[in-house]
Structure 1
Amino acid sequence: MSETAPVPHDAGLPQLREAAAGCHACELWEPATQTVFGEGPETARIVFVGEQPGDSEDRAGEPFVGPSGKLLDRALEAARIDRRDAYVTNAVKHFRFTPTGKRRIHQSPGAEHLHACRPWLAAEFAVLQPEVVVCLGAVAAKALISPSFRITRERGQLLPWTPPGTTPGEDDEDGAPAQTWVLATTHPSAVLRTPEEDRAAAFDAMVADLRVVATALA
């Protein structure tokens, strides 16, 4: 591990993105092409949190732009959620991989990587103050909801949640208690890995989870 992530205090998303580009809080920055920070408007009512950027995202410097991102776009359209009104990010901001020949094979981040990136995620939530957070996949759900969370048993359920770095029961600008909700669903990459004969059903199940979010926002 290197130095603690230099997260600027009371910064907006552009300042956070710029600072995160130089984060060396864990060793993943060195083999990765670049930091992949979140993207979307500061007014976003919904935040999607994945595991980490993939190969396409690492090269582009943007979250969810590869095959998983394209599937997420399709799922959001089917659920009638406009991605332009959402913020997308990852629990870990660098691509962890194992080089195999000319390919870079995805490797799940460890607890130390999640811990190193948590201040950035907390800073994003502090700016965004979303109404709903959607965990895409088990890694994000375990990091943000509970280490014992199981996608297969608890997906698609809206749960009351306190973003990291905030205090339960903090009031909003109107003095009413602010409440953030969290829901977990399958990561788009898991749908893509599903055998072809079962893939449509896996996609439909993800869309059904997202429709719960759309209904809550409505």
Structure 2
Amino acid sequence: MSELLGPALVQREVDDSSLEELHADAASCRRCDLYSGATQIVFGEGPKTAEVVFVGEQPGDKEDLAGRPFVGPAGKLLDRCLEEAGIERNHCYLTNAVKHFKFEPRGKRRIHAKPNKGEIKVCAWWLAAELRLVRPKLVVALGATAAYSLLGSHVKVTRDRGSVLRPPIGPPVFITIHPSSLLRIFDQPTGGRAVARFVDEMRRVRAFLER
């Protein structure tokens, strides 16, 4: 695992806890300043027995208001792609590298702002605890922030996309893009091919789990 997540996986003892207890502990998290602007923490969601954990960047506006991960436009597209690939969302654990919504206010709108390395680092403590409890067969890194949190700065999504990387600590990690990037090109001529490629990657995730 990365220099962020590896030590947390080693040091954080959560085997006797439940995901519900961990979520309750995280609700009062003040490890960075992002809590001050967010509505609430958005923790992971899914069964403790999940064989696959999907890790995104951070909650968006819809997730911040609902308190649930991947319920906004990108989450709905992810649901569609998972269904097409034959993966049931309710069998997966979905979470983010950063648990609070980071944004820039523009009038009445809240515009996504990328979390910095310090924010990712302090939140890796929670992600490591989730992985120790779920113990998945595979982790899917959705985008650069998730890949950095899980594996460190040497991983590049453009270069490593579609690869299964095996860190010395923790489960193997499948590298791909975040579905939000598909939304930005969805109506362009290349949008259909981009979605099809992502669905094909999700089929490869399913094949890995079925081994």
TM-score (norm 2): 0.89
Query: 2:107 — aligned with what?
Result: 101
Query: 2:192 — aligned with what?
Result: 200
1:38 to 34, 41, 44: 44
Query: 1:146 — aligned with what?
Result: 152
Counterpart of 2:134, as a letter, is: L
- What is the alpha-carbon distance in structure 2 between the residues aligned to residue 140 and residue 82 of structure 1? 21
Superposition misfits of 4+ residues, deviation over 2 angstroms: 7-10
- How many Å apart are 1:80 and its aligned residue? 0.8
Write out per-residue CA displacement over residues 119-155 of structure 1, whole angstroms, 9 at most, x where no aligned residue: 1101101100100000001111122123132212211
Write out per-residue CA displacement over residues 9-51 of structure 1, whole angstroms, 9 at most, x where no aligned residue: 4421000011111001100000100000000000000000000
Query: 1:129 — aligned with what?
Result: 135
Q: CA RMSD in A?
A: 1.4
1:211 to 203, 206, 210: 203
- How many Å apart are 1:8 and its aligned residue? 8.0
Contact 2:63 2:70 in 1 (8 A): yes
Change (3 A) 1:69 1:208: same
Query: 1:188 — aligned with what?
Result: 179
Counterpart of 1:139, as a letter, is: T
Contact 1:35 1:58 in 2 (8 A): yes
Say whether 1:61 aligns with 2:67: yes
Structure 2: runs of 5 or more not aligned: 1-11
Write out per-residue CA displacement over residues 37-86 of structure 1, whole angstroms, 9 at most, x where no aligned residue: 00000000000000000000000000000001100001101111111110
Structure 1: runs of 5 or more not aligned: 1-6, 167-179
Contact 2:164 2:174 in 1 (8 A): yes
SS at match of 2:190: helix
- What is the alpha-carbon distance in structure 1 between the residues aligned to residue 167 and residue 33 of structure 2? 30
- How many Å apart are 1:161 and its aligned residue? 2.8
How many residue pairs match? The answer is: 197
More relative contact order, 1 or 2 (CA 8 Å, 6+ apart): 2
Say whether 1:84 aligns with 2:93: no
Query: 2:6 — aligned with what?
Result: none
Percent identity (aligned):
49
- What is the alpha-carbon distance in structure 2 between the residues aligned to residue 116 and residue 19 of structure 1? 15
SS at match of 1:161: coil
